[in-house]
Amino acid sequence: MQIRRMNRDDITQVCAIENSTFSHPWSEESFLDAVNAEKDIYLVAEEEGSICGYCGLWGIAGEGQITNVAVSEQYRNKGYAGQLLCCLLQLGKEAGLYDFTLEVRVSNAPAIHLYHKLGFKDAGIRKDFYEKPKEDAIIMWLQDKQ
């Protein structure tokens, strides 16, 4: 498995994973905008020419807003999400970002466990943040002590 920056040629495969994972998936145009944005970092995990997962963040005022983390169903439980996030956080720090935030469904126990393992702390709840099904989100932060 190789982790690298997402490019426009990856977007069709990324959107297939996005559409099968999220109830409100991003469009191809949204991913293309993110790939082309100077302060954003989007990565893919690739195995034998197939995209098996991806993640990304928006760099805003010294902070990284993690927007997407997904792994194709057949590649789950192999540590790919953790490897992608570790690489994303490292690249974010190298780009001058030191605090990272994300939202996660309160019912997504595997993701919450992974984020806690990476050092993220629960910071609050966004009521009814998700739809289909309607659900609260946990706001999480990882703050570097610089």
Structure tokens at 80: 């790919």
2-104 fold: Aminopeptidase (3.40.630)
Is the model more confident about 41 or about 128? Answer: 41
Catalytic one among 54, 75, 115, 130? 115
pTM exceeds 0.85 for this model: yes
**Strands across the sheet containing 50-60:** 2-5, 41-47, 50-60, 63-71, 99-105, 135-143, 121-130
User: Who's near 104: CB < 8 A, 6+ residues apart?
Assistant: 111, 112, 115, 137, 138, 140
> What is the distance between the alpha carbons of residues 49 and 57, in angstroms, rounded to a whole number?
23
pLDDT tier for residue 79 given thresholds of 50, 70 and 90? very high
Provide the pLDDT for residue 145: 60
Instruction: List the chain domain ranges.
Output: 2-104
Provide the pLDDT for residue 102: 96
Q: Mean pLDDT, to the nearest integer, of 43-66?
A: 95
Catalytic one among 63, 103, 130, 135? 103
